[in-house]
Structure 1
């Protein structure tokens, strides 16, 4: 008659999931039912990602022996980290397991068990009771009307043939035996089982009593059906007494189905039994050995998903010393921003929490993998949310943009002032001596160099991306080729000691000035090839700065870019070499030395630029290129023109024919050491 525990494992695992218990131990009996329950509960726990912390299978003989020795611990040191333990009881003999647990005062555990569990009833130490707060899954049944009154009215005087009542009365109601017939005498008057506390005798019906009640009625219904069937046979019409064998009742028992007095359907056929329903009982402990089972929830296997279990958490009394819902996990949950990393050789519930990498997040607890943010997003500091990146560029509003733009405009104004100064004093000796035409070309090209740096600041577009590189390449080519022309002119003027008519015509006609258009035409050809094959274009850099998408100009063809830069570097190196060879020529205004130093500064800037440029990203890369343009152009302006402006403005006496003659005489009087 007893219902099978088909859904007991499912019900227990549902309670584990409700309280997020993922690290649970299992203690069961040795036997068919115990092993079947172990298989069922492990399957359900694996399916719901609840880990089995340990499994202990004990037999009644072993437990009884070790309980007698009082030295064996069923729950050993390897189980101490588990706060929730499932105990499956099969027979009454396994109360020895309860005894062992009580002896070890395991008061911090949460015990989950089935209805076969029976508490240790002889103790009074309710504070240290290991089973205070145990959760019991009992088959649901309706209260049988009149059962409690029947039990309360039962006495050995009313049922003298019941030897159990006879001995129970003697033990609990201070009775004595008469010497003549061993009858009970001197008992407490009008004694009743209802007077006894629940830990001695509980008059309420439990599932065992319910099953016995249904079993008795099932046998009665089966006998009635068997007798009725026999009554219908012709042989019974003779009214002869017939004896029945017990096996003849089995077919009728299997087909017996009826409603008991509580309205519950009773069916002894396993294939037609209804789905299981469980009451979840909480075991409360009180002083003086009083104990109480309180219904705190129900489980119904045929209820809709998500509604199978109802629970009143505020009514649950947990184990001694526990005031909140206890935790039973192998590892604490990984909060958002972390992912689970399995611990080698351990269960899946045991893991480490590893922070997500850059641009990866987890927005839920206990995620196994981090999710990568999209290209236009980035992970916040907590790594639990992807945020949209801010689109930016080297703008005029930025402090760096303001500084570079201000420097460029200042140098442009300074260059324009120098050009104006040279135009104003174009007929003076120093302007004429330094090749007035080439000086004008150099100053105008430097103006273009300073102004082209402004193309790198502000929001890029297709036009500015193309103009940045072409203007930069052509302007600096004109400037460097002009320096080369000035240097060659100085060398030809002072190295030729006795020039003939052909050399004189070459210098007077200004043929060295043709170096400028020839060099510029070569650079223009390189730029045209660059723009025709793979020109610069607008690009975005989402990785240079955290949380920003930087709009930059992509060079397009890096090969073409380095060809333009390499050609410019070759011109600069050639100019530096020629100027270096002519640095000691005895010209009036030390022009060769100034040209040498200017090209040294120019080459130093761009040699330093290359490694720094490749190691920087985003706006810093653009700012580095702008800085190199301004620094190299400022080096040319300062080294070549500042000394001349000094003479024009502060030493006008040297800017005349008399001053030049005096300077020449002083140079000739200097002793020569080479």
Structure 2
């Protein structure tokens, strides 16, 4: 491009410096760099050095372009749309006449234009170059914060003569997300340039954040203006500055960065970790402190090899060698930037394409015409599209973008020193695609964090939910903003930030912290337990006591008191009570199929036998006193033993109900893993609840009927009359089982079984004590009352 007003001396100096060393320039390359170099983009001058180094290497190479030399024309370009088009015409015409299709240049025209200011600059310049079919190789956009590739310039229909040296930065989003996840940063801010490329990056990283569980604290668009002195209102940055996010992603171009200079000077950078898309090839006045503000941030740049000989070349280029060039004393000579690397590759790409053109010309036997240029620009297009080579750094370079390749990014840590020195420390890399080196590699011990952080910073909307808790999203906020709630009963979470708690298996239960499932202890009413042992001892004592009472009745069976109370029914009642106490042992111990089938059936049958025996005794007492009145009916019933028939009738009814129970849905061994925390209750499932309550219902009805009969007979003469005792015994029996039902249903586990055992023992004790203890007292303690004389004495006065 032609010089911009005020910079003609600079163009003259550059051309004098770099063109005077060449004797002939049969092939020219047009190279454009941004202007002004002295103020903002002084590192652009380094690209000139990389460009010249590549030219020198190629001209010294005896295998690449032998007997040929590369020349070049170097121009500045100001990032202005109107001046870009105007200066392109100046260059093509050779003077300032701007005569269409006329050139006053006497030298050979350039065959390739290497440009690299911005995508807008390249597109505008390409509009003019397309008319002459001059290839345009995009070196880089070397914007401050974003990679060189631009998809809008990759449209061959619109820009058939434009080639981009840089590969697509589609993997940059994955690289950044990988770094965020590595440090657990899920709450980040995003600042992008307000242009097409910024919007593309915005959409791409948002989609990847959704997949990875990273949330945006805010999105701020950096507006672009035409002059670097125009700034947006400071107040508009306030909302960004108060964000709770400690990590910001910056994706912008140079115009946006300068436009929002206050962003770095006053508000956002200090105490924040910045993720930027490329090394900043700018310098600013010390009063601005922009670069210093980004201390501790990270820069992502495409991986580049080390070009042999470049550092040596840069060391030898100094003001003493080129005293007329006053720009060296500002230059960071030894820093190999991303854009310098692309400049180097672009020159070699053109050289390889030219080499193939000359080989084809020689093979076809065409002679060179001195009056014509050695090569026309349009002849390079077929060869540039397919140019592939390995540069001196060992990296593969190709202008053919059809086949996607694995992307490699170097990750640098920005370190600034008080003296103004800035270095980029390589602390890791990222590789996309497949392969052994795939993924993120970080050297954390080499990272220098911003001064506000003494250790690795955190950037989250909500603090992590530890094990035992789960995240509860907050309505109306991002998914990264949540509350921590404890896992529900029976659930655990064994990881940080669990979305849902995990239900423990039925055989396990959560620990107190609800972080692990522990195996439940199998529990039942065991003989080894204190409760089981106490009930077993009680049952054993009562069994022995019943045996003793039975022995006493057998021993004194010929005494009046035993005979008067129907000793046959007394024996039967004592035997049934003995079985009742013994059946308690079926409820104690580990349940199995046999005990589950027998416990309730045995309990129902033996208690039916006991209660029906009491009913028979009660009926016998009533008939005995009724038989004393005139008439033979009652006496005949009494003598025939009809009351005793109640026992088999009731027993058969109960046996039928139990048989139906066993035939339809018998009891079985079951487990209860929910009623008691940390335990699996081993129990007997009753099977058919209807059958179970039918059996209990019949037993209850029988007991209630017996109590009613005994209550009606309570006022009969009391000489050896047990009607009162039978009434009281049945009152105790009914009271126990009426109390049993609600207590039984309100308890769980072995306590429920213990309640039933206790009810069996208590009701049995009520019958034993109320009916037989008074008789044993007379037999053993008051034997004088156990005589016919005493019997007649009591009965006489109370004869009804």
TM-score bracket for the superposition, by shorter chain length: 0.7 to 0.9
1:110 maps to which residue? 273
| 8 Å Cα contact 1:127/1:320 also seen in 2 | no
Q: 1:317 to 1:303 in 2, by over 3 A?
A: farther
What is the Cα deviation at residue 308 of structure 1? 3.2
- Is the CA contact 2:432–2:439 (under 8 Å) kept in the aligned structure 1? yes
Pairwise CA distance, 1:103: 1.2
Tell me, yes or no, if the aligned pair for 1:283 and 1:291 is still in contact at 8 Å. yes
Deviation at 1:586, TM superposition (A): 2.9
Q: Which residue of 2 aligns with 1:348?
A: 479
Distance 2:768 2:437 in 1: 82
Residue in 2 that maps onto 1:475: 606
1:84 maps to: 247
Cα deviation for residue 131 of structure 1 reads 1.3
Match of 1:285 among 416, 425, 439: 416
Distance 1:473 1:345 in 2: 63
Q: Tell which deviates more after alignment, 445-454 or 237-246.
A: 237-246
Rounded Cα–Cα distance in structure 2 between residues aligned with 1:261 and 1:123: 38
Instruction: Find the partner of 2:558 among 424, 427, 430.
Output: 427
Distance 1:74 1:95, change over 3 A: farther
2:682 aligned residue: 551
Aligned to 1:43: 207
2:407 equivalent to 1:276: yes
Q: 2:621 aligns with which of 490, 509, 527?
A: 490
Task: Say if 1:648 and 1:103 are closer, same or farther in 2 by CA, change over 3 A.
Answer: same
Deviation at 1:316, TM superposition (A): 0.6
Aligned to 1:54: 218
Aligned residue number for residue 18 of structure 1:
182
Return closer, same or farther for 1:71/1:377 CA change in 2, 3 Å cut-off.
Answer: closer
Contact 2:314 / 2:333 at 8 angstroms: preserved in 1?
A: no
How large is the Cα RMSD of the aligned pairs? 3.4
Partners of 2:279 and 2:338 within 8 A in 1: no
TM-score, normalised relative to structure 2: 0.72
Unaligned runs of 5+ in 1: 173-192, 194-200
Of 615, 622, 633, the residue aligned with 2:746 is 615
* Residue 198 of structure 2 is aligned to residue 34 of structure 1: yes
Instruction: Check conservation: 2:292, 2:420, Cα contact below 8 A.
Output: no
Change (3 A) 1:96 1:667: farther
Q: Residue 190 of structure 2: SS of its match in structure 1?
A: strand
Residue 306 of structure 2 aligns to a residue whose secondary structure is coil
Answer yes or no: is the 8 Å Cα contact 1:87–1:111 preserved in 2.
yes
Please, which runs of 5 or more residues in structure 2 have no aligned partner? Answer: 1-138, 141-165
Range moving further from structure 2, 115-124 or 372-381: 115-124
Cα distance change on mapping 1:505 and 1:139 into 2, 3 Å: closer
Give the superposition deviation at 1:164: 4.0
Partner Cα distance (2:230, 2:630) in 1: 124
**Closer, same or farther: CA 59–597 of 1 in aligned 2, 3 Å:** same
1:565-584 aligned at under 5 Å gives the runs: 565-584=696-715
Aligned position for 1:521: 652
- Give me the whole-angstrom Cα distance separating, in 2, the residues matched to 1:13 and 1:390: 47
CA contact (8 A) 1:396 1:405 kept: yes
1: distance between equivalents of 2:497 and 2:228? 43
Deviation string, structure 1 residues 118-168 (Cα, Å, up to 9, x no partner): 576544899995311110112222333444454445455643554645xxx
SS of the residue 1:45 aligns to:
helix
Structure 1 587/337 Cα, relative in aligned 2: closer, same or farther at 3 Å? same
Residue deviations 1:537-585 (CA, integer Å, cap 9, x gap) = 3333333333433333332333222222222111111111111112222
| CA pair 205-555 structure 1, distance change in 2 beyond 3 A | closer
Matched, 1:561 2:692: yes
Is the Cα–Cα contact under 8 Å of residues 122 and 289 in structure 1 kept in the other structure?
no
Give the whole-Å Cα distance in 1 for the aligned partners of 2:466 and 2:437.
25
List aligned pairs for 1:378-397, cutoff 5 A.
378-397=509-528
In structure 2, how many angstroms separate the alpha carbons of the residues matched to 1:380 and 1:358? 10
- Count the aligned residue pairs: 636
Structure 1 pair 232–483 and aligned structure 2 pair: CA distance change class (3 A): closer
- 1:277-301 Cα deviation digits (max 9, x unpaired): 2211111122222222111112233
Q: Distance in 1 between matches of 2:797 and 2:421?
A: 125
TM-score by length of 1: 0.84
- Deviation of 1:400 (Å): 1.7
> Could you list the per-position Cα deviations for residues 636-672 of structure 1 after superposition, in whole angstroms to 9, with x for gaps in the alignment?
111112222233333334333444455457768xxx9
Cα distance change, pair 509–130 in 1 and its aligned pair in 2 (3 A):
same
For the Cα contact (< 8 Å) 1:89–1:116, is it kept in 2? no
Q: 1:135 aligns with which of 276, 281, 298?
A: 298
Matches within 5 A, 1:407-422: 407-422=538-553
> Residues 475 and 119 from structure 1, CA distance in 2 versus in 1: closer, same or farther, beyond 3 angstroms?
farther
Is 2:263–2:269's contact at 8 Å kept on the other side of the alignment? no
Q: 1:350-390: CA deviations, max 9, x gaps?
A: 33444433444444444434443444344444444444444
Distance 1:562 1:543 in 2: 24
Give the Cα–Cα distance (whole angstroms) in 2 for the partners of residues 275 and 404 of structure 1.
78
Superposed displacement of residue 588, structure 1: 2.0
**Distance in 2 between residues matched to 1:66 and 1:436, nearest whole Å:** 121
Deviation at 1:505, TM superposition (A): 3.5
Cα contact 1:126–1:288 (8 A) shared by 2? no
1:15-60 Cα deviation digits (max 9, x unpaired): 2222232222221112232222223322333333333332222112
Match of 1:512 in 2: 643
Aligned to 2:447: 316
